[in-house]
Amino acid sequence: MFLSVLTHLPQRGEEWGGGGLQQHDRDQSMGWEASLPRPPPQRGRARRAQQQVLSLQAENQSLQLHLEDTQRHCRQLEDTARTHTQ
């Protein structure tokens, strides 16, 4: 990499912002981006999202049933307390 930069050093009278150095930077960044891990395909993401939806729906249903049972138990306790105080 160091040697390739040297081939693009500005000559006498040229500025550092010349096209050769910028092209080198672009080439280097494109090579770097290509080495990054690619995101999984959309199909895989959609499948995982659907599985998560189903899991959350099942958890929601379970919590709803638990809430109904708890409310029913609370009403029974209130009824029992009322009959004992009368």
pLDDT in tens, the chain (86 residues): 444 445 555 555 555 555 555 555 665 666 666 777 776 678 888 999 999 999 999 999 999 999 999 999 999 999 999 998 87
pTM: predicted TM-score of the whole model, two decimal places:
0.48
* Residues 52 and 78 occupy one common structural domain: yes
Handedness of CA 43, 49, 51, 53 (dihedral sign): negative
* Residues 34 and 52 occupy one common structural domain: no
Q: For 1-86, where are the alpha helices, taking DSSP H only? A: 2-6, 19-34, 42-85
Domain that residue 24 falls in: 1-38
* Residues 57 and 86 occupy one common structural domain: yes
Looking at residue 2, its amino acid is F
| Main-chain dihedrals φ then ψ at residue 18, nearest 5 degrees | -60, 165
Q: What is the pLDDT at residue 2?
A: 47
What is the number of structural domains in the chain? 2
* Residues 9 and 27 occupy one common structural domain: yes
Q: What is the pLDDT at residue 69?
A: 98
Q: What is the pLDDT at residue 27?
A: 58
